[in-house]
Amino acid sequence: MRTPVIAGNWKMNKGPKEAAELIEELKPLVQDARATVVVCVPAVDFSAAREALAGSQIKLGAQNVHYMPSGAFTGELSAGMLKEAGVEYVIIGHSERRQYFGETDETVNLRVKAAVEAGLVPIICVGEKKEQREAGYTNALVTYQTLIALSGLTAQQVGQVIIAYEPVWAIGTGLTATDEQANETIGVIRQAVRAAYGQQAADQVRIQYGGSMNPKNVRGLMAQSEIDGGLIGGASLKAADFAQVVHFE
């Protein structure tokens, strides 16, 4: 049995004071959660968030990582820096990073390897645009993205990462893939892992749905056989909403 992971992606929201307040509100609401709960906060919130999370089961995550350990990369953070700041999880390859900041499948792979080597758990985002789905390319695209992202990892390492299927057309739009669409595509991703890394890695790797999961649709999505949690955007910014997603049963 794979333990579900519900990870909140706060994106560019909440300063340190607001971050601490939200976490303090969230802690009692998810203290008995059966899922692993992660909050991926802006970098300026790491210190305040780590202090607020002390003594709770909620894990601290970041929203990006650079693939070099140090150097002349203004504005970037290395995996070692994240680790020292108390971060345990890191989102890599989010569609917004790909769209607005030029990240590619190849740089996603470099970031994944850097994160794994530093002992961080990457949450690797893959997914198609609306026109790609309509053209019938979804399965081929997510298979390609997944295999490139995981290139260079061992089967054991692959079993420990998290993959988030996020149909780009459902990010921040309120649109959601049907339960069956999401489950089918996540099944395709798991099959790609199985073919490349074996049955054990495919059984172990946790694959989330990341397209506008919220309290209204979480139960149906989480009832699907292949879906192991969610990468939550807007609903993670309100403690009550996020807690409802965490308690999806």
Q: Judge contact between 201 and 157, C-beta under 8 A.
A: no
Q: Residue 177 — very low, low, confident or very high, per pLDDT cuts 50/70/90?
A: confident
Report domain extents, the chain: 5-246
Q: Judge contact between 142 and 128, C-beta under 8 A.
A: yes
pTM > 0.95 = yes
Q: What is the CA radius of gyration of the chain?
A: 17
Active site residue 134: no
Which is the catalytic residue, given 96, 103, 128, 166? 166
Which is the catalytic residue, given 94, 96, 128, 226? 94
> Worst-scoring range by mean pLDDT, 32-41, 78-87, 94-103, 164-173?
164-173
Mean pLDDT (the chain, rounded): 96
Look up the CATH number of domain 5-246: 3.20.20.70
pLDDT tens for 107-144 read 999 999 999 999 999 999 999 998 999 899 999 999 99
Active site residue 66: no
Residue with the two structure tokens 């203004």? 74
pLDDT tens for 202-234 read 999 999 999 889 999 999 999 999 999 999 999
- At 88 the pLDDT is 98
Q: Judge contact between 211 and 129, C-beta under 8 A.
A: no
- DSSP string covering 37-53: EEEE--GGGHHHHHHHH
